[in-house]
Amino acid sequence: MRSAIAARTASDTLTPSARATASMRALWLGAPAGNSVWGAVVWSLAILAVFAPLAVSRYRKTAALR
């Protein structure tokens, strides 16, 4: 059972929200943040790089139809 919990906890740190939460918690408490801050920044930039062009493209198509 303990190994299943450890595996679950290890996989939870790969999600963007878990990385951001872990980095904010560490920074607010003054604890060492490790790679959580960089992971949160990378995830945020990756999401922005993927979805910003898609949103702009969709907006331009919709605006052109009016």
- Whether pLDDT at 5 is above 60: no
Quote the CA–CA distance of 12 and 8 in Å, as a whole number: 6
Average predicted confidence (pLDDT) for the chain: 83
Range of the domain at 6: 2-65
Q: What is the pTM of this model?
A: 0.67
pLDDT of residue 49: 97
pLDDT tens sequence across 27-43: 889 988 888 888 889 98
Question: Could you give the number of structural domains in the chain?
Answer: 1
More confident residue, 52 or 4: 52
